[in-house]
Structure 1
């Protein structure tokens, strides 16, 4: 019979794989940015938020804070590297004013994480106290990110169209939440269970909306094709400035989503 530790490891590895691909979901957006050499109307908020989210979850997974959470560290450490690349590209292709604002935000994030790390390791003298304090902060960060899927879901209901909520991203978000919630329940960890349980619910809600409005979406697309026009709500840009992933702590709640001028949704996830 498979032991709980082996089952937890297997589920955690699956969660790492799903989360990794979710972290890569904005790549098409950055390909466009690099080609045009401009960030245009895209917002850096989702990437800055996911970056700090990954940093705090990486801290949570360290042995001196929350032992036996290596898989939380691996995926969020990977997330940090990926988000740093996104932020650097944003800095390269932003104007001076936007670049300065981003640098200030990044500096604040680094200082906050450094202070949290210092305080956790020097003033809290047991792993239980450290995991409780850092885990609570992780949950708060994830909750602040829940505004993004709500924004996208509201748009779907308003337009009766899932054109801006790609099925595979919604499904991956749901699968990510299920994987990390399962991981947290095998050896109960409330700090990973709560945000990922909510992430699972939001993912399921998106899938239900997709099923509900799929046919009406096809009718709208057919009507536009018949009129020979492409103009529609894809010109709307929704920038979620909330936050502060999929992720994670292992799998964290969905990060901010952004609907770009092409009508596609870029979703950044934290892990844990």
Structure 2
């Protein structure tokens, strides 16, 4: 059973390495054009933080050497990507990247390490680090939904409009509209009121 677990872990590490290396084509283009163009640095900054947390987890928890090694590789790769942003990004993007690196990859990571080391015993520390890493994973993979949800809502409402149009496009308006009903009621009411000449006669 342990052998199977190790084998699955190795396969998982290979896949993770391929994922870390997948943006190489993009960054080759950045180097070639000496510009980051419209690319954003935030995904790589967050992935660097994520890799750092999981490396810390792998080092802290016994028997998680595979987690530590693959994410240690991820730290190196993502640090290269972020460095390329700091070199080739426009001035505004370069400043934004430097600020985010300082806040997330340095500040937040340092706080996480300090709190878990000083305020928690080993078991709680391992659980807390794992929770932080898992939460960051969820945030990273769920963030595109922020752009998808409004578009999805608009799509559904648009479909609803088309369906209503298809149902009622050939419908003929009924003669007794609300206005007609009110007008007819008023006419009937007028007939019930005796005219003034009836009282005179």
The TM-score with structure 1 as length reference comes to: 0.52
SS of structure 1 residue aligned to 2:68 = helix
Whole-Å Cα distance in 2 between the matches of residues 38 and 152 of structure 1? 26
Whole-Å Cα distance in 2 between the matches of residues 153 and 72 of structure 1? 32
Q: Deviations over 1:207-247 (max 9, x none)?
A: xxxxxxxxxxxxxxxxxxxxxxxxxxxxxxxxxxxxxxxxx
Q: Normalized per residue, which structure has more strand?
A: 1
Q: Which has the higher contact order (CA 8 A, sep 6+)?
A: 1
> Which residue in the other structure is 2:30 paired with?
33
Shift of 1:153: 7.9
Structure 2's unaligned 5+ residue stretches are 153-201
1:107 and 2:102 are equivalent in the alignment = yes
> Which residue in the other structure is 1:8 paired with?
5
Q: Deviations over 1:37-75 (max 9, x none)?
A: 11111111111110111111111111xx32111100001
SS of structure 1 residue aligned to 2:78 = helix
The equivalent position to 1:116 in structure 2, one of 109, 112, 115, is 112
Taking a change above 3 Å as real, the CA distance of residues 149 and 96 of structure 1, as seen in their structure-2 partners, is closer
Q: Deviations over 1:82-127 (max 9, x none)?
A: 00000111111112221111111111121211121122122212x2
Range with greater deviation from structure 2 (138-147 or 48-57): 138-147
Taking a change above 3 Å as real, the CA distance of residues 152 and 26 of structure 1, as seen in their structure-2 partners, is farther
> Which residue in the other structure is 1:92 paired with?
87
Larger radius of gyration: 2
The equivalent position to 1:130 in structure 2, one of 125, 130, 135, is 125
Between the two proteins, the alignment pairs up a number of residues equal to 152
Q: Deviations over 1:127-164 (max 9, x none)?
A: 2201111111112111111235647988xx9xxxxxxx
Residues 66 and 130 in structure 1, CA contact (< 8 A), matched pair in contact too: no
Structure 1's unaligned 5+ residue stretches are 158-272
The TM-score with structure 2 as length reference comes to: 0.69
Whole-Å Cα distance in 1 between the matches of residues 96 and 87 of structure 2? 13
Q: Normalized per residue, which structure has more helix?
A: 2
Whole-Å Cα distance in 2 between the matches of residues 153 and 11 of structure 1? 33
Q: Deviations over 1:1-41 (max 9, x none)?
A: xxx22211111111111110111110111111111111111
- Runs of 4+ residues over 6 Å off in structure 1: 151-154
Whole-Å Cα distance in 1 between the matches of residues 47 and 10 of structure 2? 20
> Which residue in the other structure is 2:19 paired with?
22
